Amino acid sequence: MASGVESNGHRKQPSPRPSSSSSSSSSGSDTKSNSGSEKDDGERKVDPYGFERSNDFDFETYEQFMSSYLSILARRAARWKDTYEDKRKISRSRKLKRFCRKGIPGDLRPDVWMLASGASQRLAEDPNRYKTLLSQRADPTVTDTILLDIHRTFPENVYFNALSDPQSLRKPLQNVLEAISISNPHVGYCQGMNFVAGLLLLVTKSEERAFWLMDTLIRNILPDYYAANMIAVKAEQELLGDIVKWKLPVLHSHLSSLGVEWGLVGAKWFICLYADVMPVETVLRIWDCMFLEGSKILLRVALTLVTMNKDRLLAATNFPQAMDIFRDIVHEPPSLQCHSFLQNIFSVTGSMPKSRIKTMREKCVRDALQS
C-alpha cells in the first residue's frame, strides 16, 4: 500500500498511482493526475495501484476492511519508523522477519524488498548490469513472445492500458522482461512472468529495481518455476496435493473422488506468485514475506486458502463445483482482508518443517520428471 494510505489520505488522493517513495528512481515516477471533478469518480474507479475496478466492485466490503486496516497501517508505519529510522540499518534478522510478516509500509517496500532479498547487494556488486543488458539484443523469438503479452498484461490497469501515454509502463515491462531473458538464458520468457514484472514495476516505479528483484527471485528465491520444461511448477502443484493429503486427509480424498487432480489447481498461483490472482494488497503482503523468507510462503498461502474453505470444498458434490470454489476463494472477502489472512497463514497451516517440505518436493520433482 502506498504511503498515502498511512497518512490516512488514501480515499482523498486523486492519484491512482501509489505515491512515490523518496528514493525511487528512473522510469516514470511522476504521478498521473486526473483533473477537477473527475477526481472522485476516478478514484472510485481506479485503485491506488492503477487497477480499474469492475462495475460490480464491492465497495462496502472494501471500505469496511480499509477502515480497520488503515489504523493498522498507521501503527505499523510508526513502528518501522521508530525501529529503522535509518534505512541503511535494515538488515536480515528475526526482528525484520517479524516486521515483514506484519507488513512493510508502502514507502519503504521497494527498499526493504531489495535489502531482504539480497538484490541490493547484487546490484552493488554489479552496478552496470541492467544497463549492459539493455544494450544487448534479446533472442528475437523470445522478444516476439514477450511482445505478444505486453498489451495483455494488466489491461485493466491505467499504467498498462494507455498506448500513447508517456507514463505507460509497457515499454519498461518489455525492457525488464528482455533483460531477464538475456540474464537467464535457461528461462528466456515464460508467460506469467509478465504479471510478476508488471506488479514489481507498479510498486518499485523503477525498471532497474524491478529487474533486480525479478532476477533475484529467479536465481535465489523460487524453485525453477520458469524453466522451459515446467517441471518445477508441476512438482509444486503435486506438492500442494501431498501437503493437503498430509494435513487434511479427508478433504484430499473427497476432492480425489470428484476427480480434482492437483495438477489442475494452482498453476497460476505459483507461476504468478499470486499476482493477478489475489487482491493486490494481499499479494504485496505475501511478497513482503517471500522476499525475506523464501518461496515456502507460497505453499502456505495455498494451504491456507484450502484450509479456510475446507467445509465448502467438502460440500462440493461434483468437479465443476469444486473448480468454481478454487476460482472464487482467491478473491473473496477473507482473501481481501490481507492482515488477518496473513495472520492465518502462519496459524492455520501449522508446522511445515523445511526439511520435510524439501524431501516431499524432491519426490514430486522425481515424479514429474518421470511422467
Contact positions toward another protein, by CB under 8 A? 55-56, 145, 148-149, 151-155, 161, 190-192, 194-195, 228-230, 233-234, 256-261, 263-264, 266-268, 271-272, 276, 317-320, 323-324, 327
Q: Are 285 and 338 in contact (CB under 8 A)?
A: yes
Nearest-approach distance from CB 155 to another protein, in angstroms: 4
CB of 156 to another protein, least distance (A): 8
Find the shortest distance in angstroms from Cβ 154 to another protein.
8
How far apart (Å, rounded) are the C-alpha atoms in residues 79 and 353?
A: 30
If you write DSSP's letter for every residue of 254-311 in order, what string do you get?
A: HHHHTT--GGGSSHHHHHTTTTTTS-HHHHHHHHHHHHHH-THHHHHHHHHHHHHTHH
Which CB sits closer to another protein, 224 or 293?
A: 224
- The string of DSSP letters for 146-188 reads HHHHHTTSSTTBHHHH-SS-TT-SHHHHHHHHHHHHHH-TTT-
Residue (37 or 257) nearer to another protein, CB: 257
Shorter beta-carbon distance to another protein: residue 22 or 55:
55
| Residue type (1 letter), 212 | W
- 182 vs 230 by CB, closer to another protein: 230
Q: How far is the CB of 46 from another protein (least distance, A)?
A: 17
> Which 8-state DSSP code applies to residue 30?
S
The DSSP annotation for 81-105 comes to: HHHTSSGGG--SSHHHHHHHHT---
Shorter beta-carbon distance to another protein: residue 151 or 356:
151
Least distance to another protein, CB of residue 189, Å = 8
C-alpha cell at 229: 520444461
Shortest distance in whole angstroms from residue 166 CB to another protein: 19
Residue closer to another protein (CB basis): 71 or 256: 256
